[in-house]
Structure 1
């Protein structure tokens, strides 16, 4: 099962990496009709089948379960969808114990650059000293405006990028929403996204948002769930530790691509974004994308969380992998100070399983700010 937001490259990946599989896309109306009337007819004589956009016909899932069991797993399926298939009840019920789940995210900085050999993220898990060095500086602002979706790779005109994001929201989000659920008012839904966007990287107060938009709190709750099903937002849980008793227990919300936040927040050019009070939130959202991707690539997958105490102390991200963990602080600054790492040091003091603390910033040096805290430029990850 491969899930992921629209336009992250699922169909391209499946057709290029698995040419010996029969490829079926349920966006094709005739195939969709066939899938609903007689799903078994889709794979007569085939042993390797890809079904793309499978969420459009949940009726095929019991048939897939049946054929997989009858052939003792000789027939193999790759299923994909732009809805979060794990949140679909039909998937969890039909394919329990029979499926492996992967999520596809927008691209990372290194994928965009075509350089995926060195994995600095893995070096952070080793307890050896990482060499201090000066490296080139990479301005994050263009990435916060453009984003990391594959179709944008070769678009450099700022106006064309804005047109693409507007089309993305209209063509995919609003269309898929209508297919998934009865949205009473698409304008209210669009306003919800606009209100959420500058809050990416924050704990969300649903009652406050309901008052701001003028809709009920249960409607906000339902709309947030829909955005999650569409893989547009992610909620990361609070870090759990027996040592930390007084912690905030609500999840933290992030948009899947930082440019979607900046676009919905109304920042369309560099000057306005540089002066935005939410710039730190957008930068943290970009770091979140990379940490989420690299957590998913660990085997087994790492667990991404955050920590905020009731007294207001926060550590932006914690990644747990077995009995080890890394703690991250994100700062939009070129010159980090000791004040920037205070919460990290306190957190490491209380949690002996933390290998090291990492401050992610916008400068051009890999350097130690403390024997337990390494500062790294954002793209070094």
Structure 2
């Protein structure tokens, strides 16, 4: 089993909370991690119809089977359980009783916010990070393979073709989540919408254009974006608020949590296609931003990420806020560093003054070094060390 970086923070949180809730996409390894953390406790999956029926019809009796706690998987399938858990942990008083897992972010959080506020900590588990793959000796050999394959655990612990796995994943999980979260009637239009989103990854989100291209209303497009966010398929990166007396773009940018899924949705059939694909730069940016998210989440921190773009088109791909300072980060998929790569971060750093720290370029090459006060970082070195995030 590939060791997950989030394991340490979960064990730490269990010393101070009676419950830890692990959320994230389906097939991101939540169950495997929860079982590893609670290896000596019983496990029950509420995806199992018989278990779910028992839990719904006699919740108290169901939970009495676990006097010393348990791993309860996919708890969003039985929201009735939350209020009973509240009574149990309040009466018991012990820490580290339960690990809950769930895949649908909004539905799960709404239930927990009402019943378990203050009683549970949250950890978001995304697919494997580059750091986790590297430590396990599983890092793809080159950038194109990384962008093609992504980080979903089943692609690294079993013999399965990448495209076949993503095809099954979308059919088995995404469609089911869509039906559970939202009353989507036209699945064909929804699939077309998801593919159009993949074609816009790393770009400003234009809901009207997206809706027109898909043949749906703007409100439907907005609702479907929410469904995809709920299911941990994609996320929006917000623009930074500091304007330095300049007019700023206020529209968010769209990214996928897993670059391999985005590549599959674009119809990419082999890694070598990514060498010259017109969206190579967008996919590389998606990969880097998702890795930055993982670096924070795997250590129990909220990602403080944004981007900056003024009305003249000057853009810094990512601004990373830590301890009152901001690191500007530029993302370029090219293997050769050119002077133009630094143009935007240099302009932003001049505007930001003392607030700016460690201007950084992440690129598609192999070497990492410093160049005139700026850091140049290979894609292979993306991780918490890049951001100065301490181990949990």
TM-score (normalizing by structure 1): 0.88
> What is the Cα deviation at residue 280 of structure 1?
0.3
- Aligned counterpart, 1:353: 355
- Aligned counterpart, 1:364: 366
- Alpha-carbon distance in 1 for matches of 2:302, 2:229: 20
- The answer to whether the Cα contact below 8 Å between 1:61 and 1:94 also exists between their aligned partners in 2 is yes
- Is 336-345 or 148-157 further displaced after alignment? 148-157
- Is 57-66 or 192-201 further displaced after alignment? 57-66
- The answer to whether the Cα contact below 8 Å between 2:144 and 2:272 also exists between their aligned partners in 1 is no
- Alpha-carbon distance in 2 for matches of 1:73, 1:101: 18
- Aligned counterpart, 2:175: 174
Tell me: CA distance 1:327–1:75, structure 2 relative to 1, closer, same or farther (3 Å).
Answer: closer
- Aligned counterpart, 1:35: 55
- The answer to whether the Cα contact below 8 Å between 1:58 and 1:90 also exists between their aligned partners in 2 is yes
- Is 258-267 or 177-186 further displaced after alignment? 177-186
- Aligned counterpart, 1:337: 338
- The answer to whether the Cα contact below 8 Å between 1:155 and 1:161 also exists between their aligned partners in 2 is no
Aligned partner (choices 95, 105, 114) of residue 93 of structure 1: 114
- Alpha-carbon distance in 2 for matches of 1:280, 1:375: 17
Aligned partner (choices 34, 40, 46) of residue 14 of structure 1: 34
Alignment of 1:273-284 (within 5 A): 273-284=274-285
Deviations 1:181-218 (A, max 9, x none): 21111111100011010211112111111110111111
> What is the Cα deviation at residue 33 of structure 1?
0.7
The DSSP-based 3-state class of the residue aligned with 2:47 is coil
- Alpha-carbon distance in 1 for matches of 2:367, 2:232: 34
- Aligned counterpart, 1:60: 81
The DSSP-based 3-state class of the residue aligned with 1:15 is helix
Which structure 1 residue ranges, 5 or more long, are not aligned? Answer: 117-136
- Alpha-carbon distance in 2 for matches of 1:41, 1:149: 36
- Alpha-carbon distance in 2 for matches of 1:73, 1:253: 42
> What is the Cα deviation at residue 245 of structure 1?
4.8
Tell me: CA distance 1:299–1:14, structure 2 relative to 1, closer, same or farther (3 Å).
Answer: closer
Which structure 2 residue ranges, 5 or more long, are not aligned? Answer: 1-20, 383-392
- The answer to whether the Cα contact below 8 Å between 1:295 and 1:304 also exists between their aligned partners in 2 is no
- Alpha-carbon distance in 2 for matches of 1:274, 1:156: 25
> What is the Cα deviation at residue 219 of structure 1?
0.7
- The answer to whether the Cα contact below 8 Å between 1:360 and 1:375 also exists between their aligned partners in 2 is yes
- Alpha-carbon distance in 2 for matches of 1:328, 1:77: 39
- Aligned counterpart, 1:231: 232
Number of aligned residue pairs: give it: 358
Deviations 1:165-192 (A, max 9, x none): 1001001101221222211111111000
- Aligned counterpart, 1:122: none
- Aligned counterpart, 1:105: 126
Deviations 1:299-329 (A, max 9, x none): 6444111111122111111111221332210
Deviations 1:251-271 (A, max 9, x none): 211111111111101111234
- Aligned counterpart, 1:134: none
- Aligned counterpart, 2:322: 321
* Residue 143 (1) aligns with residue 149 (2): no
> What is the Cα deviation at residue 71 of structure 1?
2.9
TM-score (normalizing by structure 2): 0.86
